[in-house]
């Protein structure tokens, strides 16, 4: 008998499909943990145990059979309220599920509540805390998905990324966070923020679970690594990002990972790299201003102060700056092969270091924004701990469209790290502070 609390999503689904495990056993194990820890963690914006129990009574089969998954509250759901993290939409019930949510449910997964998002996935944090230290942020905007997964509330979770909203919180919470290539996973039914930047993000306990999740919602069987990976990919250490003021612990973790992986070559930044930060900011500002114009014009008084500030900052961005940002992106994409050279993927920080103290900010996305603008597939994997014992991840990046190569390569890197004794994350049965 497997333990649903520590089993992979793959293991749970295999046991449920083989009738060796009943879905209600899975659900009850997670419900018990949520009941004990959610009052302080605050990972959910909406959760109903009876809805979860009812779902477990239905016949289940498929690649996600019996696997609970958290849903960031910017994905539409018919069976649960969808507020997009805002009082503007309190109690709102969409007419259909987001496409990705529907595909996960259709594959046998159990929709396990709506997880906390910052308001409209922008800058206004909510009260969710880090599962390893309640005084620290879990990151954002996919705050509840990362915190809930780190606290073992569910084995899989949906997020989104427009700047660094999946990979950064994944790093802070000791889980795997994957941002697909732009267009790989359908965004129908996900609250728009920036048409050129928004990407569905996926979170899991390990790379293979993330790949399984991706294979379902992208409808791409080739995304799932077949058994144990046979070789470590050719990796380039993207050293330029060391100039982005990372913590000493973050640098140490990155260099240790590079040393363990071996055969890593240093890759320098091309001349256009630095300017992509401003380009991403301009594209984001112009498009978010349009996407949130109805809420701004009709419901200003219901928006959070941080959202007021965020929207007001966008006012000075012109169409010409948006055009220039898109042009900078396109020019960089045309030169991307030269950046990668003969490397299969690049490795860099996923976040500046451990999760920052305080809940008033979700941390900085400096290591993510340029890759998000380029639409590259990227993944954060747990790779070590900082001086305060909190998780630190590393980010692996592949060329656009090479998601299968990224996931297979990331699984190989993960295998090498675990064989070298690098723990994936703190033991979920022995977490300090919040989760204990």
CATH topology of domain 9-268+337-419: Amidase signature (AS) enzymes (3.90.1300)
**Number of helical H runs and strand E runs in the chain:** 15, 11
Query: Where do the DSSP E strands lie in 142-263?
Result: 156-161, 176-179, 199-204, 235-238
What is the reported pTM? 0.95
Q: CA 12, 47, 95 angle in degrees (round to 5)?
A: 95
Give the catalytic positions in this structure: 72, 141, 165
C-beta separation of 192 from 198 below 8 A = yes
d(CA 98, CA 79): 12
* pLDDT (0 to 100) of residue 428: 53
* pLDDT (0 to 100) of residue 247: 83
* pLDDT (0 to 100) of residue 242: 53
Which mean pLDDT values do the consecutive 10-residue runs of the chain (436 residues) have?
Answer: 92 97 95 97 97 86 97 98 98 98 97 97 93 97 98 98 98 98 98 98 98 98 78 83 72 88 87 95 97 98 95 91 99 97 94 94 94 98 94 97 96 92 67 48
C-beta separation of 107 from 216 below 8 A = yes
* pLDDT (0 to 100) of residue 227: 67
Q: What is the DSSP string of 360-412?
A: S-----TTTHHHHHHT--EEEEEEEE-TTS-EEEEEEE--TT-HHHHHHHHHH
Query: Where do the DSSP E strands lie in 6-155?
Result: 44-46, 68-72, 110-115
Where are the chain's structural domains?
9-268+337-419
Query: Where do the DSSP E strands lie in 84-175?
Result: 110-115, 156-161
What is the phi-psi region of residue 426: left when phi exceeds 0, alpha when psi lies from -120 to 50, beta otherwise? beta
- Backbone φ and ψ for 132, nearest 5 degrees, come out as -105, -10
* pLDDT (0 to 100) of residue 432: 45
């Amino acid at each position: 008998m497997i333990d649903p609390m520590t089993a992979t999503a793959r293991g749970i689904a295999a046991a449920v499909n083989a009738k060796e495990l009943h879905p209600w056993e899975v659900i009850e194990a997670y419900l018990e943990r949520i009941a004990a820890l959610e009052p302080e963690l605050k990972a959910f914006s909406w959760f109903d145990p009876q809805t979860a129990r009812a779902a477990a009574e239905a016949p289940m089969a498929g690649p996600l059979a019996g696997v609970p998954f958290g849903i960031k509250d910017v994905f539409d759901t018919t069976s649960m309220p969808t507020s997009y993290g805002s009082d503007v939409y309190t109690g709102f019930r969409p007419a259909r599920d987001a496409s990705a949510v529907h595909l996960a449910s259709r594959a046998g997964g159990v929709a396990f509540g709506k997880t906390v998002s910052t308001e409209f996935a922008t800058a206004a944090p909510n009260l969710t805390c880090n599962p390893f230290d309640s005084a620290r942020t879990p990151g954002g905007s996919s705050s509840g998905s990362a915190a809930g997964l780190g606290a073992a509330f569910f084995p899989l979770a949906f997020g989104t990324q427009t700047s660094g909203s999946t990979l950064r919180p994944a790093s802070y919470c000791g889980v795997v966070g994957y941002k697909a290539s732009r267009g790989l996973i359908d965004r129908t039914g996900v609250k728009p923020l920036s048409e050129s930047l928004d990407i569905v993000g996926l979170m899991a306990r390990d790379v293979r679970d993330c790949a399984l999740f991706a294979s379902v919602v992208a409808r791409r069987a080739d995304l799932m690594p077949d058994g144990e990976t046979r070789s470590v990919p050719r990796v380039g250490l993207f050293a330029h990002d060391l100039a982005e003021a990372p913590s000493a612990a973050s640098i140490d973790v990155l260099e240790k990972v590079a040393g363990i992986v071996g055969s890593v070559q240093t890759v320098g930044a091309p001349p256009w790299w630095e300017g992509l930060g401003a380009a991403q900011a301009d594209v984001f500002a112009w498009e978010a201003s349009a996407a949130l114009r109805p809420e701004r014009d009709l419901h200003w008084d219901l928006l959070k102060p941080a959202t007021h500030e965020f929207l007001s900052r966008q006012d000075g961005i012109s169409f010409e700056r948006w055009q220039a940002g898109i042009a900078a992106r396109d020019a960089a994409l045309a030169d991307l092969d030269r950046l990668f050279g003969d490397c299969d993927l690049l490795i860099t920080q996923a976040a500046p270091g451990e999760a920052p103290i305080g809940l008033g900010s979700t941390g900085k996305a400096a290591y993510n924004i340029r890759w998000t603008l380029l639409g590259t597939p990227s993944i954060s994997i747990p790779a070590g701990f900082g001086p305060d014992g909190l998780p630190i991840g590393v980010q692996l990046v592949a060329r656009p469209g090479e998601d299968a190569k990224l996931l297979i390569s990331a699984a190989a890197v993960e295998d090498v790290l675990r064989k070298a004794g690098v723990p994936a994350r703190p033991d979920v049965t022995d977490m300090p502070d919040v989760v204990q």
